[in-house]
Structure 1
Amino acid sequence: MNLAWKEMKKSKTKFVILGSIVFLISLLTFIISGLANGLSQDNAALIKNLPDGTIYMETAAEETHALSAIDMETQQSALSENDGAFAFSIQMGFLLNEQDEQQSVAFATSTDSAQFPDVKKGEIILDRSLEEDGLKQGDIFTNSQLDGEFTVAGFTDGAKYSHAPVAFIHPDDFAEMYRTDELQMLFLPEMAQPGAIPGLQSFSTEEFLNTLPSYSAEQLSLSMIVWFLVVISGMLFAIFFYMMNIQKLGLYGILKAIGVKTGTLFRMIWTQMVVITAMALLLSIAVSQVFETLAPDDMPFYLPIDATLQLTAVFFVIGFAGATLSGLQIRKAKPLQAIQQGEG
């Protein structure tokens, strides 16, 4: 520990440069992770907010929920046998206001459920993002597929699907608009101990999200960027400490000759890595949280504490691995050889 601090004080510039680079890489990683999580919420908050459970779709739909239709007999049987189960449907569509201005929404409906708002026939409950856009309770909307009108009965939080605000409507209105009484999906909560249902394919929440083309493509691209930056940070640590160790082989040889153990030298490198990483990450976390506060409302940025802690742990693991690999030449070097190499 003492050796580590003395070297860091002596070579401040080198360690400040390394810390600055780690700070910039980790900050970029946190911001991209926040954007990935924000886009995930904006794309599928309606599904992500469901409790643990199993989602069923018609097998013949081939993992396309818009083509799924669960017959009434199967639906009634599943709902009656499983407490907390419900059937629901989601379809993209639009609303027209009194000025014939169009608002894209994702229409959603369900059987009785604590997870979906209770909506009366002729009423509609919208995601709160539309309230921020100027819509208010009591506004009237129409749809070309519906004979009647929708009256805004209220707003709810966290209801987004396919980057569109969700509009919750009554099952009868949904049936009139889409000419079917059959709902698309079944949800059975985890406590219901769901099993196989003939003619239906089961999905966990994450598996269901991956059936959505826009969701899987977005998350895969952003996740690749995040992990690419994490790998770069590990390589950075390895290269930095490797170059420093090569320059100090003579010093290491002297230290080993006077009785300093190899483990002590490794602990010195690990201490330096921990100090640099901790300072850089604390600063990047603080800046990313400020960024989340100052980001425009229409920017889908969401960086929860669990994602921050996971990335922080990954950076420490990668940094430890990089620093350890860079120090392997210390273990192999003999004191006399190291001294000669340093002198040469």
Structure 2
Amino acid sequence: MFLAWNEIKNNKLRFTLIVGVLMLVSYLVFFLSGLANGLENMNKEAVDKWDGQGVILTEESDINLPQSSLTLDDYNGEGVDEYASLAQINSIATSDDHKSNVSIFGIDKEEFIMPNVIEGDAFAKEGEVIANESLKDEGFKLGDKLSLSSTEEDLTIVGFTNNAKFNAAPVLYTDLYTLQKVRYGKAAENYEDRINAFILRTDNLSDIEVPDELQVVDTTTFIENLPGYSEQNLTLTFMIYFLFIISAVVLAIFLYVLTIQKVSIFGVMKAQGISSSYLARSVIAQTFLLAIAGVIIGFILTMITGFFLPAAVPVAFNYLDLLVYGIVLIFVSVLGALFSIQTIVKIDPLKAIGG
């Protein structure tokens, strides 16, 4: 450690560049991790808000909520602690100059998926909705009349809730009949009993029996089958893992070049009786110190960036994930130093000093 630290102090510029590279890689890994978590939350916030363990859908829906079509009589709640009915459609909501993609949930306000109201009131009559508070950042406010695409029906925002996005779209909660009027227009009375799913709360999901044309899926499986959810997470995770490889390769190249430049010095040290294992430990210690410095600076920069990012940027940092990624970055950096150690071990003192 003594040799490693003294060399860092005597070659500040050279090792500052190495720390800078590790800092940039760490910063990118941490930021991508936050972005992955943020996008993941945007897709499943409303599902998490249900706090349910399972969902009943039609067998032919391919675990896709909009493709499932049920009636209120298809399930009576047998075998579960609680259950709730849900109808869902996607639309584009417009108010004055403000426009947003939205997901509209038709629910029974007496059931457990009724959201908490943090501002305004709960919907009490036809045409009223509770909106996710993210719409406030887009210019929507209490009392706004919302025009929807593909329908003549208007909705009115009477309240706001939090943490309610589905497939990255803010959710509008309303009663079942209002949703059917939005979906079917004047024919809504003929489809009052139509829903898309039943949401379940139970500790014995596997014991629930439903007709052959229906299926029971756990909430995790339901989330993983949301359109684009798994593909998005897989892409960002692959990018993070690829950065680990880049970090190891870049550091290995840096340290290898530095080692080649110091072959004669290492040869002299070996001739003086300093063992290869001591020199190897010195290189590993040096790499460890540089990696820790780069990771810490990268983490600090990530937190500063996250503080100043606008709310529209979907970034959510999971500190346990960041800790794990930081440890992995340090590990792969030390792993990259092994190439230099092989070179040190093979140094012949006589040849290195020109003997």
Q: Counterpart in 2 of 1:339?
A: 349
**CA deviation after TM superposition for structure 1 residue 24, in Å:** 1.8
Structure 1 residues 20-31: aligned runs within 5 Å: 20-31=20-31
Corresponding residue to 2:278 among 264, 288, 312? 264
The TM-score normalised by the length of structure 2 is 0.80
In structure 2, how many angstroms separate the alpha carbons of the residues matched to 1:237 and 1:193? Answer: 51
The answer to whether 1:241 aligns with 2:255 is yes
Corresponding residue to 1:290 among 300, 304, 326? 304
SS at match of 1:81: coil
CA distance 1:23–1:52, shift in 2 (3 Å): farther
Q: Which amino acid aligns with 1:213?
A: P
Q: Counterpart in 2 of 1:202?
A: 217
The TM-score normalised by the length of structure 1 is 0.82
CA distance 1:143–1:9, shift in 2 (3 Å): closer
Q: How many aligned residue pairs are there? A: 335
Runs (5+) with no aligned partner, structure 2: 117-121, 184-190
Q: Counterpart in 2 of 1:44?
A: 44
SS at match of 1:327: helix
Structure 1 residues 1-344: aligned runs within 5 Å: 1-49=1-49, 51=51, 53-77=53-77, 80-95=78-93, 97=95, 103-111=100-108, 112-113=111-112, 116-117=115-116, 119-122=123-126, 123-141=128-146, 143=148, 150-178=155-183, 179=191, 181-189=193-201, 192-195=203-206, 197-198=209-210, 199-205=214-220, 207-255=221-269, 260-331=274-345, 333=346, 338-344=348-354
**CA deviation after TM superposition for structure 1 residue 21, in Å:** 1.2
Q: How large is the RMSD of aligned CA atoms in angstroms? A: 3.2
1:30-54 per-position Cα deviation (integer Å, ceiling 9, x unaligned) = 3333333333333433235554734
CA distance 1:101–1:247, shift in 2 (3 Å): closer
Q: Is the 8 A contact 2:91 2:149 kept in 1?
A: no
Q: Is the 8 A contact 1:30 1:285 kept in 2?
A: yes
CA distance 1:13–1:63, shift in 2 (3 Å): same
Q: Percent identity?
A: 24
In structure 2, how many angstroms separate the alpha carbons of the residues matched to 1:144 and 1:301? Answer: 29
1:64-116 per-position Cα deviation (integer Å, ceiling 9, x unaligned) = 22111345455323xx422244343432023454x697543110134511573
Q: Is the 8 A contact 1:119 1:125 kept in 2?
A: yes
CA distance 1:12–1:173, shift in 2 (3 Å): same
Which of 162-171 and 176-185 deviates more? 176-185
Q: Which amino acid aligns with 2:217?
A: S
Q: Which amino acid aligns with 1:130?
A: L
Q: Is the 8 A contact 2:107 2:114 kept in 1?
A: no
CA distance 1:213–1:241, shift in 2 (3 Å): same
**CA deviation after TM superposition for structure 1 residue 285, in Å:** 1.6
**CA deviation after TM superposition for structure 1 residue 201, in Å:** 4.7
Runs (5+) with no aligned partner, structure 1: none
In structure 2, how many angstroms separate the alpha carbons of the residues matched to 1:278 and 1:100? Answer: 50
**CA deviation after TM superposition for structure 1 residue 128, in Å:** 0.7
**CA deviation after TM superposition for structure 1 residue 293, in Å:** 1.9
Q: Is the 8 A contact 1:30 1:308 kept in 2?
A: yes
